[in-house]
Amino acid sequence: MRLKGKVALIAGAGSSGPGMGIGRATSILFAQEGAKVVCADINEEAAKETLRMVRERGGEGIVVQGDFTRSEDARRIVETAVSTYGKLDILHNVVGIATPFGILETSEEDWDAVVTTNLKSIFLMSKYTVPHMIRGGGGVIINTSSAAGLTGHPSANYSATKAAIINLTRSMAIELAEHRIRVNCIAPGFLDTPMVAPIMTEERRRILEWMIPLGRLGTAWDAAYGALYLASDEASYVTGITLVIDGGLLAGRGIGPAKPPGGMV
């Protein structure tokens, strides 16, 4: 019960397909650890499925539908959370989208959609949440970057926003420290989630497993446990950091594991 008595807003609590996305796994885990979870998502059905899983395991929460890139929705989601549970202790900005292309193939519309969804959503959700955290004497914000924010990546707009999230996190951390609000981000590597399922061929999986020193793709639970640590009081002296959860991918980038399988290099 590492989050007993806390209220957590999970912004992106659904999942872009059947199965376990990061927001879904985190909602379940936070609820199991004693938090009341506010499951917010643009996809109401996906958020309802998350809440069903939360309740199935004895947890408590509500669903709020909305688009985090729209100011009025972001404000309404936060106000609903506070009017339901009286306070807000944790905000986890999970939402993120990607287009698979570099700058030559990316349309202006796609560029704007990725930048707005990945960056502006954090700005808006945090802007409306922070006053309630200040009133409550403190809080925790966890943003979601990516290993793609720490290195170049074929999806230029995705990579650029995920790098920006790391510095947005640092800037928010120093701005909000005086209010006892800690701000950190997680940077997952390759996770086996519904978001990547459409591009995951067997060949691609084999190459990734070779590139990742721990020899496997991660799961949404790996990210959720990282967020749980940052959300808990165990991390009370931790702010402004990027917690990389990548099976060693970035540590071994370009070289791969110590002993690549025959025929691969």
Ligand X SMILES: NC(=O)c1ccc[n+]([C@@H]2O[C@H](COP(=O)([O-])OP(=O)(O)OC[C@H]3O[C@@H](n4cnc5c(N)ncnc54)[C@H](O)[C@@H]3O)[C@@H](O)[C@H]2O)c1
Phi, psi of 40 (to 5 degrees): -105, 140
Residues forming contacts to ligand X in the complex (CB under 6 A) are 12, 14-16, 21-23, 41-43, 46, 67-69, 94-97, 117, 144, 146, 188, 190-191, 193-196, 220
Nearer to ligand X, 134 or 200 (CB): 200
Residue nearest to ligand X (CB): 96
Catalytic residue of the set 128, 158, 225, 229: 158
Is 237 a residue of the active site?
no
Nearer to ligand X, 106 or 237 (CB): 106
Nearer to ligand X, 69 or 80 (CB): 69
| Distance of closest approach, residue 5 Cβ to ligand X, in angstroms | 26
| Distance of closest approach, residue 49 Cβ to ligand X, in angstroms | 10
Nearer to ligand X, 139 or 194 (CB): 194
Nearer to ligand X, 43 or 134 (CB): 43
- CA separation for the pair 75, 165 (Å, rounded): 21
| Distance of closest approach, residue 245 Cβ to ligand X, in angstroms | 9
Beta-carbon contacts of 239 under 8 Å, excluding residues fewer than 6 positions away, are 173, 177, 182, 183, 184
Enzyme catalytic residues? 158
